[in-house]
Structure 1
Amino acid sequence: MKFSGTDSYVATEDLAVAVNAAVTLQRPLLVKGEPGTGKTELARQVAASLNLPMVEWHVKSTTRAQQGLYEYDAVSRLRDSQLGDARVHDVRNYIRKGKLWQAFEAPGRVVLLIDEVDKADIEFPNDLLQELDRMEFHVYETGETVRAQHRPVIIITSNNEKELPDAFLRRCFFHYIRFPDAETMRAIVRVHFPDIKDALLTEALTRFYTLREQPGLKKKPSTSEVLDWLKLILAEDLAPEDLKGDGRSLLPRLHGALLKNEQDVALFERLAFLDRQQRR
């Protein structure tokens, strides 16, 4: 079982090495990188490449580690007892299985995605240490121990919003997805838009990287945003020369797909104003 990318996902050599190392070591793969660099999609493509089912756990700021194991609905059980429902005699009727339980009890190996682990409370990753290490947990309400029938391939993503505990990091194989260079980005674009003309692609990527590397930019556009921009360019049937701004700013056409806040738009407008002043 080796991952090398798929027809719809360009994996760099170091990323493929990281995935395969984590699979071999049977350790979670912790993937960090800028938002929009394909961390979540990586897990889906690993599942597709290895022909494995996938279980996705998308973490929010309110998510607790216990929810990944199971939740006991005591309120529903109390209500049913008041109504005389016979289901109340079996506590299992009120146990909701979490994503880890689903992955552990799967009849075959699965890919388990724990997405954006850094969104939750700082104790969240610590609370999962034993379960991810031993591949088992105890259900106190029923007295049973749930053990993984097959150790899942675990991929954990983080946007680096907060530091993760050292004890958690020690249990993971780590990889940082660097922003693609121009050559890699060209290959990524070709996967999504195989018929795009070379001249248009070259001009678009030149303008994209110039914009992205502008000092003072609050939010740099990501891979997903350049793909959205190119989709609009192709939909409008624009030519390379059409990608220039309107002369009053340094912004490219359809820049709303690339820049997502008013500060960055204002930055380029100021730069254009200063450029016009200097030319007078």
Structure 2
Amino acid sequence: MPIRRFRLLILLVVCAPWHAATLHAQMPFYTDDPAVTERRVVHFEFFNEFDALQSSQYPNLNQNTANFKLNYGFAHNLEGDIDLPYLSIYRSKQHETSAGVGDLDLGLKWGIRKLDTKSYIPALGASLYIEFPTGNVQQELGSGLHDYWLNSIAQEPFGDKTRLTANFGYLFAGNTSTGVIGVSTTRGHVYTGGLSLLHDFTKDLTLGAEAYGGLGDTKGLEKDQLQFLGGGSYQLRDGFSMTFAVLGGKYEASPHIGGQFGFAVDFPNVLKSHD
């Protein structure tokens, strides 16, 4: 195993089972948290991310991802999810830009254990996502594969305002790519890991940082992913928050540098009157 892949594997191990998943998360972070949407609440998220790509992606230069996500809270600590990106891939002058919908995600998340400050056991969750090949493969908007992704999630608090969240994911069919970003493999499996540290500076402002990576087990496949993100969220009112982030990474499957902004809305909470 090449040295750089060994180092990336070590990072995934550290980011994953230490307290025990991935792209479906607490905006703007890619590392998911174990909480689920409240029962009978509709949670909507939108973010727009613009990324400058690695030079090895040439003639692809930049990618813009406008992502729409809808969650609904069910009984028994379950959450349903539907997720669809609209992608724009910008290329060198000799090549045409691609634009259109990407692959559709459907998911189910289970909040296994809520946080208990009197216990040493962290909050736990798990999720399963199935991705359908709705994006155009020839335009690199979709993978052309059905993806099956199982994630484990854990969160440990440090006081009332700081928390560490760790993920470990196993994609046992398909790949993690969104457009030209992500680990691409048509056979084999992909391991993902993420680690985020968040702090509530006020009741409305949360800031944090994360490391996230992906590693395919296909022999000879060098399209690995390792990226870092710093960002946060600001709650404007109950049920409505704005999010923001800057990110960058190395290896071909990660963006070279990028920026993200978005918002999250809870219905019917946002419609309630506030004194």
TM-score of the two chains, using structure 1 as the length reference: 0.26
More strand per residue: 2
Larger Rg: 1
The normalised TM-score by structure 2 is: 0.26
More helix by share: 1
